[in-house]
Amino acid sequence: DAKTTQPPSMDCAEGRAANLPCNHSTISGNEYVYWYRQIHSQGPQYIIHGLKNNETNEMASLIITEDRKSSTLILPHATLRDTAVYYCIGIAGGTSYGKLTFGQGTILTVHP
């Protein structure tokens, strides 16, 4: 699985967009980029994933660069409840049976 690098922490004002970057320069062609988050004292929560194309769902958008060496998770209108640790994970497609390798992630703090 690809090694990913994320900034240790970021701040965002409530109501503004939160843009969380992730570098995965060694990602291979069949590896997906997954994003999870962990709100304090809760289990991790799946957010979104993508391979090549940009993706959007009700929680967030994922922008993947054309060379796939980096991506950005966008929370369009951050709320205080979005304060959490965000993890970017590279996972090969196929029979990985969901083995998620969590790094240190980015601590996102949304402030009023």
Partner 1 sequence: DTAVSQTPKYLVTQMGNDKSIKCEQNLGHDTMYWYKQDSKKFLKIMFSYNNKELIINETVPNRFSPKSPDKAHLNLHINSLELGDSAVYFCASSPKSSGTEAFFGQGTRLTVV
Binding positions for partner 1, rule: CB under 8 A:
32, 34, 38, 41-46, 49, 85, 91, 95-102, 104
**Nearest residue (CB) to partner 1, 21 versus 103:** 103
Q: What is the rounded end-to-end Cα distance, in angstroms, of the chain?
A: 37
Beta carbon of residue 51, minimum distance to partner 1 (angstroms, whole number) = 12
47: which residues sit within 8 A by CB, 6+ positions away?
A: 35, 36, 37, 57, 59, 60, 73, 86
Q: At closest approach, how far in Å is the CB of 21 from partner 1?
A: 20
* Shortest Å, Cβ 16 to partner 1: 26
Comparison of 12 and 34: residue with beta carbon closer to partner 1:
34
Which tokens is 66 given? Answer: 């054309």
Q: In terms of CB distance, is 14 or 109 closer to partner 1?
A: 109
